[in-house]
């Protein structure tokens, strides 16, 4: 089918709308915010969560649907679909005189040409990915490492062969799975191009890990994190502020710092607890078993964590639930929320200074997590 663009005066261009409409690939519901910031391509290697039991999550983000492995053949078909869409977009770029560069004008011209493309999530995702460099990929869903290693290796290698420009391939990984995987297999995956892992540490306190049914101990977290680093992965560890509530905040902060010091991950990312109806932890909250901390109490917990951290990575507050407050009609965040956060140990004093500033701000202007009950999984 032939379309005429009015964008740059270079005249008519063609693309195969039928082919594009038929090309699609499967995408799961979530990815870490930093992968959104990188405009990573999302590829679904497995479906849902293999655990589904953590009391603050309960696999609700995946609608508690059953975990499934996908076949290597199906995942490769998805990669082929991405390739076909990317080829078509680049061909239009050449026809419009942009030399294969995926400029915004290319997408605008294509979308204006045929409204059906607006409904194609696959087209939109691939366009966005290429427009922002096409260099990072996130493998979904909650625990890709649970795939048999030889299968995951095939997927990563095929992905890199199909798109040699890819610089980073990332995935979530459960610490339990990492701890069970032989180091040699992890090294093979890292060498093949799986480069960054996101692990939900949540807490380094064994009592809390057991209470929230994380299914892993602090010692296993340390083992998993150390192995991931030794295998050559870049490692992000997620910490859940306020998971211990008022009763256990201090042991939570101190033991989490202890575990993180042992692992020394590349990134520590703080994700404050947010709960809502349907979650077991919300039931505990309504029964008074869990008492949520106030905004200043949360900040004191973060202060204890930071004071006890002796790591050489980055500490990131890249989520809007990290300490925010109102001033007149405006909302402010205490910490910067970019994906690279603060470099430790160099900027540790700066983070502690910000915490002190937050503690001096009237607590009633801080936004309390109770105001957000019902907004879980953000
Ligand atoms: S936190 Fe992760 S491992 Fe736990 S239930 Fe949710 S998705 Fe699964």
Q: How far from chain centre, in Å, is Cα 46?
A: 16
Work out the average pLDDT over 239-258.
Answer: 97
| Assigned domain for 100 exists | no
Cα of 63 from ligand 1 centre, angstroms: 12
Least confident interval from 23-32, 192-201, 212-221, 303-312: 23-32
- Would the CB of 46 count as within 6 Å of ligand 1? no
| Assigned domain for 75 exists | no
- Would the CB of 51 count as within 6 Å of ligand 1? yes
Domain housing 276: 198-378
| Assigned domain for 295 exists | yes
98: CB partners within 8 A, 6+ apart: 105, 106
| Assigned domain for 23 exists | no
| Assigned domain for 266 exists | yes
Work out the average pLDDT over 342-359.
Answer: 97
Nearest CA to ligand 1 atom 5: 52
Work out the average pLDDT over 291-308.
Answer: 96
Please give the share of the chain, as a percent, with pLDDT higher than 90.
Answer: 79
Structure tokens at 104: 């915004």
| Assigned domain for 73 exists | no
Work out the average pLDDT over 109-116.
Answer: 86
- Would the CB of 57 count as within 6 Å of ligand 1? yes
Q: How far, CA to CA in Å, does 22 sit from each of 2, 45, 149, 272?
A: 18, 20, 31, 41
Least confident interval from 178-187, 243-252, 277-286, 369-378: 369-378
- Would the CB of 52 count as within 6 Å of ligand 1? yes
Number of domains in the chain: 1
| Assigned domain for 148 exists | no
Q: What CATH code is carried by the domain that includes residue 258?
A: 3.30.750.200
Give the SS3 label for residue 324: strand
- Would the CB of 59 count as within 6 Å of ligand 1? yes
Residue 368: its pLDDT value, please? 83
Nearest CA to ligand 1 atom 2: 142
Is pLDDT above 80 for 151? yes
Q: Is the peptide bond before 345 cis (omega within 30 degrees of 0)?
A: yes
Mean model confidence pLDDT for the chain? 92
Burial label for 107, CB within 10 Å (0-12, 13-18, 19+), is buried
| Assigned domain for 158 exists | no
Residue 321: its pLDDT value, please? 86
User: What does the pLDDT look like over 163-214, one tens digit per residue?
Assistant: 999 999 999 999 999 999 999 999 999 999 999 999 999 999 999 999 999 9
């Amino acid at each position: 089918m032939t379309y005429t663009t009015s964008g740059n005066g270079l005249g008519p261009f063609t693309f195969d709308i039928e082919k594009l409409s038929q090309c699609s690939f499967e995408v799961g519901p979530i990815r870490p915010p930093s992968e959104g910031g990188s405009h990573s391509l999302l590829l679904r290697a497995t479906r849902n969560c293999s655990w589904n039991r953590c009391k603050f999550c309960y696999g609700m983000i995946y609608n508690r649907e059953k975990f499934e492995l996908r076949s290597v053949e199906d995942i490769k078909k998805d990669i082929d679909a991405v390739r076909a869409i990317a080829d078509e977009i680049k061909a239009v770029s050449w026809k419009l005189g942009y030399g294969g560069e995926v400029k915004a004008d290319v997408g605008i011209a294509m979308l204006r040409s045929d409204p059906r493309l607006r409904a194609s999530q696959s087209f939109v995702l691939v366009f966005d990915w290429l427009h922002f460099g096409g260099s990072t990929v996130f493998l979904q869903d909650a625990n890709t490492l649970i795939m048999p290693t030889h299968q995951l290796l095939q997927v990563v290698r095929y992905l890199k062969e199909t798109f040699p420009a890819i610089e980073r391939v990332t995935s979530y990984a459960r610490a339990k799975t990492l701890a069970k995987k032989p180091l040699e297999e992890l090294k093979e995956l890292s060498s093949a191009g799986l480069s960054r892992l996101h692990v939900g540490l949540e807490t380094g306190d064994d009592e809390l890990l057991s209470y929230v049914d994380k299914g892993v101990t602090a010692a296993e977290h340390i083992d998993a994190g150390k192995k991931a680093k030794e295998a050559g992965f870049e490692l992000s560890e997620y910490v859940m502020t306020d998971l211990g509530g008022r009763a256990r905040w201090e042991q939570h902060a101190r033991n989490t710092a202890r575990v993180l010091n042992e692992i020394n991950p590349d990134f520590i990312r703080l994700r404050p607890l947010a709960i809502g109806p349907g979650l077991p932890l919300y039931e505990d909250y309504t029964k008074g078993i869990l008492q949520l901390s106030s905004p200043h109490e949360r900040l004191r917990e973060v202060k204890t964590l930071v004071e006890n951290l002796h790591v050489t990575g980055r500490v990131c507050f890249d989520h809007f639930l990290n300490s925010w407050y109102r001033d007149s009609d405006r909302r402010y965040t205490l910490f910067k929320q970019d994906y690279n956060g603060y470099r430790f140990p160099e900027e540790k004093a700066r983070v502690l200074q910000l915490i002190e500033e937050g503690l001096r701000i009237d607590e009633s202007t801080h936004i309390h997590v109770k105001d957000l009950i019902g907004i879980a999984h953000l």
